[in-house]
Structures are given as structure tokens and as C-alpha cells.
Structure 1
Amino acid sequence: MTPVVLAFLSAALWGIWWIPIRYLGTLGMDGAWGGVAMNGGAALFAVLWVVVTRVSFRLGLNGILGAALVGVAVSTYSVAITMSDVVRVILLFYLAPGWSKIIEWAFMGRGWHWTSTLTIAASLLGAWLVLGGDLSLSGLGIGDFLAVLSGMAWAGGAALIFAGGRSSAASLTLVTCLCATAIGVGFILLGKGTVFSGQATLIGSGVGAVAGLVYVMPIMVLTLWSAQRLPPATISFLLTAEILSGVLSGVLLLDEPFGAMQAGGALLILLAAAAEVLKGIGGKNKPVCRQG
């Protein structure tokens, strides 16, 4: 149960990702710069961690590719929440459990049962209720597209990390943060003169780097350590707790509404996650392609 608890904790922390990103925006770190500063700071401290503790950096191809895809997910998510409504980004990202289920079924030899459809439907319905039951998908913008891409990258990355066997969480974190930083810099370079590029300030860069140490690194370590031990769909469902923490943080800090509809949605999400977790730790339908 340890990876289950840690994944749930990391999900709660992911839900307040919008707070440092928006705060950095007030310091002039708009566009992709907020994510670059945070992920870059986390990458720097991850390098120091690996060097000082002499952690083994042995990663298989699956681990490297998986961590890189998670980095893509983190970077695109960070940019998406600066370009679209936070609630839209969260919901579109959390198509990830569906992508994970499809990956498990198509590539990992895990069966698709009626419970798979039920858990996906319950989690998505719960997300819709938590977000107020009033989310139009018309007029999708670049930010919305990035949110969907982020969820797909996360699902693929989690599957590769799980199939790649055990390795150092510090090494996976380093690869993830380096990739996330590189993708963010790519947004800045390719999006010169657009909302991608933004701008940087000395103070904002320093604050972002510190946030990388005290916030991003712990989240990454908890998430990637758990991703090695839990099936992709299981951890993706656990991470839907981010929706709950995101909404609750909005209620407390932004005075956003939370009533019976949101409470019912939260219950559906928890039930879907619990059902998937219990099935996952039960040891049924183990993947046939896992190495190591």
C-alpha cells in the first residue's frame, strides 16, 4: 500500500501546481517561463543529489523514454494552464486514465473488462460534476490541445516506467526535469512573439528555482517511485485526486463554489480510484511485457 499512499499524496500536491505557476506569472515569468524555472531548478538540484549521494544512474531504454515522456507531460501541462482555463486543462488532462487503460489492454497484455469501462466512466463523470457540470468543449484552443497531449504523454510515460523495472527514483527525476526544461525552452524559442514565449525576470527565476527544490522535486520523486510499482491505469486513477485538491484549493484561496454537485463528483472519483487500486494490488492481469 505504500506506493498507493505516496501516489495519492503526490496527486494532492499536483493539484496546487497552478499556485506557483500563477505566482511566477505575477513576477513576470509568464508563458512557458514559469515551468522552465521550476523544472530547471529541480533538474539542477537533482544533479547535485545524484552526485552527492552517488546514486546509481543505470536506466534502461524504457526508463529513459518513460521519464522523458513524463517530462513532456509536465512541460505541456505547465504551459497549458497559462493559456486556457485551469478547469478545462485539468479535465482534458484526466483523459489519462482512459489512455492508460488502452495502453494496458493493447500493449501490456492486461484484459479489458466491464469494470474497466465502469471505472473510466465513473471518474470522468465525477470530474465533470466536480467541475460544475458545465464545461463546453467548443472552441478548443492550443492550451486545450496541450492538455490532451499532456495526458497522453503521461499515460505512455507511466507505462514505460512500469515496464522498465526498478531503477533509482532520483535518476528518473533528473531525466524528467531535464526533458521538461528542454521542452519549455523549445516553447520559448519556437513561440517568439506569442503567448508561448513570455519573458523572464531575475527575481522570478530565483523564486522558480527554489520552488523546483522544495515543491517540484518531492512531487517528482513520489510520483516516479510509485509509477515503477503500480500499473499505469492504477496510478493514473490515483492521480485523479489532483482534481479534488485543485478544486478545494480554489475554494479556499479563490473563493470558488463547492456544493452538492462537486461533493457527489468527488465521491465518484474516489470510488473509481478505489476500485482500480483494489484490482491493481490484487495482482490480477499482470502485464506480460514487464522486464526485470
Structure 2
Amino acid sequence: MAFGERIPPSLILMSGSTLWGLTWIWLKHAAELGIGPILLSVVAYAAQWLVIAPFAWRAWTDPSRPPISRLNWEWLGLLALLAGVSGVGFTMAMVYGDVVRAMMLFFLIPAWGVIFGRLLLKEPLTPGRIIAVVCAIGGAFLILGPDFGDGLYPADWFALIAGFSLAGANTLFRLLAEQPIPIKLTLMQGSTVVLGLIAWVFSSEYGIVPTPEALASSALYGMTMLLAAVLATQYAVERLPAGRTAILMTLELLVAVASAAWLGDRVHGLNIWMGGAMILAAALIEAASAHRRQPELAAPCKG
């Protein structure tokens, strides 16, 4: 019996979600060593791409692989674009923003997922799913409410855009279920590198030489913690019902918020915690709704 088959997929997914929830610690540490978040994303995802590329090539040359139609190429291109925006945006939100606030806004994914699921997968808009959307949006308004008058922080926009893009990428990942995971992952990682380089050239980071320690830390992050989180999530979601997957992935939000509250020195107001509770409730409602849908489709996460 293979090593992975001896470990329950639920435990693997919980491990992956825990890693995702702790990524902010490594990201902020690498940034403190002397590298901007955009270039950090480029280095991390490039390192991860180098690890996955040989497996993608093997899948690409497999004669039993279903052919990629013209429509699939268009969907794969959109998948890569959304994944690239999400990868860079998430890193910028974690580095520049308050982790608790940014992670809660990023985790509006269930609400965006309902919209994309309806548009692309023709999933029904059940009362439970509508309630989940309203609950998630209401939670975001609670979190952002005090700042609407003065405008949102850049990190807020990074988190919102990253979560929205990831929800779209997750939906397309499911839509293209017949295509091998390594091929989709390399496209997603490669897009993050390309888009990151373009954004870096036009950003204030351009021209600032990162320290060797920061480059090494970023590459190591991509090849270890980030890669482990991606692979654990992908392995588990293919083997678990979508409802259980969505529930277990809320551990990411809980770990991030708990670790940031424990290690940080910022005191958050009641509106932050109430908004976060509403977003978490939305995720659980959507998970229950997904559990009742047939057939079950596992929603992959970040790539």
C-alpha cells in the first residue's frame, strides 16, 4: 500500500489547510529579509514550477491523455490568468496587510464560488447558497464598514481580488477535470511567474536588488511549504466529497486568524470578529449545500 493511501485524505487536507493558514509567517519573514512581495511571488512560483514541470511533461506525453480542444485551450488560458492574479495578489495582501483582516476578505471565496459555479457549471442557486452569499457579503461589509468613508487600503483590494480570482480558477479547474492535474498546475504556476514579472517591472519594487538571503528564502518557500500545501490540497480534494472538503478548508482561515492574533500585537475591533464569523458561517453553509449536490465535485484550491 502506498504511503498516501495509509493516511486518511481528511487528515491530508487538514494538514494542507494548516500550511496555507501559516504561509503568512514565511511571507512576512522573506519580505523582512529584503524582497518585495511581487518578486517574492515570482521566485516562489518559479521554484515550484521547476519541481512540477517534469510530472507535467510526463502527463503531456501520455498517449491516453484526452486531447485538448480549442475551447479547452481558451478555458486553460483563463484558468492560468486567474491563478496568476490570485497568486500575486495573495502574497501582496499577506505582506502589506493586516493578516487577520486580509485573510477574512480573501476567504470570501464561497460567495464568489457560488457565482462562478452558476455561470460556468450551471449549479443551482438553492436557498442555502443564496444565504451563504448574503452572509459572506454582509461579513465583508462589517469588516470594511469603518473604512468605506476614507477608502479601502491597498491590501484590502489585493485580498478581495485574489479571493475572487481564486474562486474563478477553482471553478475552471473543476470544469477541466478531464485534463491531468500536473498540466493545469504548471500553467497556473507559469502564469503567476509571467504576470508577476510584468507587474514587477511596472511597480515600485523594480530596480531594488533583493538580498541573496531573501531570494533563497523565497525559493525555499516555493519548493517546500507552498508546494506541500498545494499537493496536499490537490490530493485530498480528488478523494473527498465537495461538502467535506469545503468544511475542512475553513481550517485555513481559522489557523491564519488564530496565529496572527497570537503572534501579532494589533487589537481588532468587534466588527472584524463578527464579520469573520459571518464569512466562516457562509463557508459552512456552502459546504452543507455542496454536500447535498450530486454528483460531488471536488473544488481544488491554490496552485
AA at the equivalent of 1:180:
T
For 1:290, the equivalent position in structure 2 comes to none
Residue 236 to residue 37, structure 1, CA distance change in 2 (3 Å): farther
Distance 2:221 2:239 in 1: 27
Shift of 1:270: 5.4
Does the alignment pair 1:241 with 2:247?
Answer: no
Distance 2:235 2:29 in 1: 28
Deviations 1:36-77 (A, max 9, x none): 2211211112224445xx344656433453244223211121
Deviations 1:80-115 (A, max 9, x none): 333333334223322322121112223322221221
Native 8 Å contact 1:187 1:197 kept in 2: no
Shift of 1:35: 1.6
| Aligned partner of 1:14 among 20, 36, 56 | 20
Distance 2:81 2:296 in 1: 24
Unaligned stretches of 5+ in structure 1? 288-292
Native 8 Å contact 2:84 2:196 kept in 1: no
Q: How does 1:72-91 map to 2 (within 5 A)?
A: 72-91=85-104
Native 8 Å contact 1:100 1:236 kept in 2: no
* Aligned positions, number: 280
Deviations 1:159-202 (A, max 9, x none): 111111233333322222211122221121111xx257754222
Shift of 1:23: 0.8
Residue 246 to residue 176, structure 1, CA distance change in 2 (3 Å): same
For 1:183, the equivalent position in structure 2 comes to 195
Distance 1:95 1:73 in 2: 13
Distance 1:201 1:145 in 2: 28
Q: How does 1:59-98 map to 2 (within 5 A)?
A: 60-61=72-73, 62-63=75-76, 65-98=78-111
Native 8 Å contact 2:135 2:282 kept in 1: yes
CA RMSD for the aligned pairs?
3.7
Distance 2:44 2:128 in 1: 38
For 1:107, the equivalent position in structure 2 comes to 120
Identity %: 22
| Aligned partner of 1:280 among 290, 293, 303 | 290
AA at the equivalent of 2:96:
M
Shift of 1:134: 7.7
| Aligned partner of 1:165 among 170, 177, 180 | 177
Distance 2:101 2:132 in 1: 21
Shift of 1:214: 1.0
| Aligned partner of 1:156 among 153, 168, 184 | 168
TM-score relative to the length of structure 2: 0.74
AA at the equivalent of 1:222:
A
Shift of 1:154: 0.8
Residue 185 to residue 230, structure 1, CA distance change in 2 (3 Å): farther
| Aligned partner of 1:44 among 43, 47, 50 | 50
Does the alignment pair 1:222 with 2:232?
Answer: yes
Distance 1:253 1:273 in 2: 25
For 2:301, the equivalent position in structure 1 comes to none
Distance 2:194 2:88 in 1: 9
| 1:17 aligned counterpart, secondary structure | helix
For 2:147, the equivalent position in structure 1 comes to 136
AA at the equivalent of 2:114:
K
AA at the equivalent of 1:24:
A
Native 8 Å contact 2:100 2:260 kept in 1: no
For 1:24, the equivalent position in structure 2 comes to 30
Q: Which moved more, 1:110-119 or 1:249-258?
A: 249-258
Residue 140 to residue 273, structure 1, CA distance change in 2 (3 Å): closer
Shift of 1:78: 0.9
Distance 2:222 2:272 in 1: 31
Q: How does 1:184-199 map to 2 (within 5 A)?
A: 184-191=196-203, 194-195=204-205, 199=209
Distance 1:83 1:115 in 2: 35
Shift of 1:262: 8.2
Q: Which moved more, 1:120-129 or 1:205-214?
A: 120-129
Distance 1:250 1:274 in 2: 22
Unaligned stretches of 5+ in structure 2? 1-7, 298-303
Distance 1:75 1:25 in 2: 14
AA at the equivalent of 1:176:
M
Native 8 Å contact 1:15 1:244 kept in 2: yes
